[in-house]
Structure 1
Amino acid sequence: MNAFAVVSDSGTLPEESSFFTSVGHPFPAVCIRTSTERPEALDKACFILAGIDEVSLLQAVDTAVTMNQEGDYGIPVPDYVEENVSTKVVKIIQSYTGVVNKMVWRKF
């Protein structure tokens, strides 16, 4: 919570940044990657995708820290703050089991 900035190549950094923003403890988050599986968090400005070269990384850290100091934290990703996730997952699995068995596994 008190880090100058979090710099990571973790794929969960977008979720962590969004979560901490949602509970009132935002932090400057910079991901050292060239792409992300979580573009929805990038769209909400929860973290910055820095790339993997020195210049891009330093610029991303500076941007994230400056924005955080100015109170520009981005906003939590709505899908990450849902409270009934388990219920939704069960319904999705139940709904698609027949389709997957038929179309993927060719079970009849």
Structure 2
Amino acid sequence: MIVQAALRAALASAQDDSERSRWVSCLVELEYFLPDRELEPYWAALEHERECIRLMGRANLEHRLDRPNGLTPELRASYERHVAGAAALRPLRDRVAAAADRIGRELQR
């Protein structure tokens, strides 16, 4: 969705028809080459990573709801689950990112 949103934003800000056409082609190619079944693990991996960052941000800021020296046991367990989830999905995320990069290079030719 992030890549699709970026392509849609680029499409909306295109200055002329040729630029708009190029962005439409990129969006169509992305959606064709990266079906939902491949994109879903990608978004899941990113969500796990985002949650890890959020939880560690709370710990680093010594959030008043947490212990000053880190996360509560419940939040620590949640953090560890998200780390494991992100690690398990990372190969799929990397494969989707590589496919998107390959599509982008092909369309630039």
TM-score by length of 2: 0.29
Where is the strand percentage greater, Structure 1 or Structure 2? Answer: 1
Where is the helix percentage greater, Structure 1 or Structure 2? Answer: 2
Which of 1 and 2 has higher RCO (CA within 8 Å, sep 6+)? 2
TM-score by length of 1: 0.30
Task: Indicate the structure (1 or 2) with the bigger Cα radius of gyration.
Answer: 2
